[in-house]
Amino acid sequence: MNAVVAAVSLGPGHTFSKANAPSIRLLAGLGVAGDAHAGETVKHRSRVAKDPTQPNLRQVHLMHGELLDELAAQGFSVAPGDMGENVTTRGIDLLGLPTGTVLSLGSTARVLVTGLRNPCLQLDRFQPGLMAAVLDRDSNGALIRKAGVMAIVLADGEIRSGDRIQAAWPAEPHRPLQPV
């Protein structure tokens, strides 16, 4: 399967879910135009409270649509944008990418994958049990976070559903994704 953008979403306010849109515009160094989390410095309220000057490593939230399928099989009703992601993907193992992977989205937009989204209790407020459903354990007991990846925007561009995604892995040694 070719990797594609399945849906795009944005939200101008600090709400949990984001509305689907026909397209979104990525702005280099800032994030999604018109989204509450766009900016050079952190925009998530808990992070702003700790240190509003820290760099925003969470300008764009990408989530694999396959997770939505997995959640549906468990009885959850979750659509693209419902868990706050800006870009819902299909056909790419986002969680298997190393830190520093560059994703080309559509014809000109490029993002740098900075790390994993760390799921929070807002998921359970959206649907009870959802937070546990996006967490797992590997064979060694280590926590697996499945709620997508975060990125910063390297190059401007408009993206929409159906756009191709290409991944350029960084030079070795690869660093596994960690929560950001």
**Predicted confidence (pLDDT) per residue in 122-163, tens digit:** 999 999 999 999 999 999 999 999 999 999 999 999 999 999
The pLDDT score that the predictor gives to residue 44 is 79
Residue 151 has a pLDDT of 98
Q: Are strands 87-90 and 109-116 parallel, antiparallel or unpaired?
A: unpaired
Structure tokens at 8: 């795009």
Q: Is residue 95 part of a domain?
A: yes
Whether 21 is covered by a domain: the verdict is yes
Pairing of strands 157-160, 87-90: unpaired
Mean of pLDDT values over 43-57: 87
> Would you call 69 exposed, middle or buried from its count of C-beta atoms within 10 A (0-12, 13-18, 19+)?
exposed
Taking the CB of residue 46, how many other CB atoms lie within 10 A of it? Answer: 8
Cβ count near 51 (within 10 Å):
9
C-alpha 162/C-alpha 158 separation (Å) is: 12
**d(C-alpha 143, C-alpha 149), whole Å:** 15
Number of domains in the chain: 1
In a domain? residue 177: no
- Residue 48: the pLDDT is 82
Dig out the tokens for 4 from the structure. Answer: 């594609």
Q: Which residue has the higher pLDDT, 149 or 47?
A: 149
- Residue 18 is part of which domain span? 4-168
Determine the Cα–Cα distance for residues 24 and 43; give it in Å rounded to an integer. 18
User: Is pLDDT above 90 for 1?
Assistant: no
Average pLDDT over residues 51-75: 96
State the CATH number of the domain containing residue 24.
2.40.33.20
Task: Write down the pLDDT at residue 170.
Answer: 98
Predicted model pTM: 0.96
**Over 90: is that where the pLDDT of 57 sits?**
yes
The token duo for 29 is 């160094």
Helix (H, G, I), strand (E, B) or coil at 43: coil
Assigned domain for 176 exists: no
179 lies in some domain? no
* CA atoms within a 13 Å half-sphere pointing along the CA-CB vector of 161: 10
- For residue 93, tell me if it sits in a domain: yes
Position 87 confidence tier, pLDDT thresholds 50, 70, 90: very high
Residue 137 lies in a domain: yes
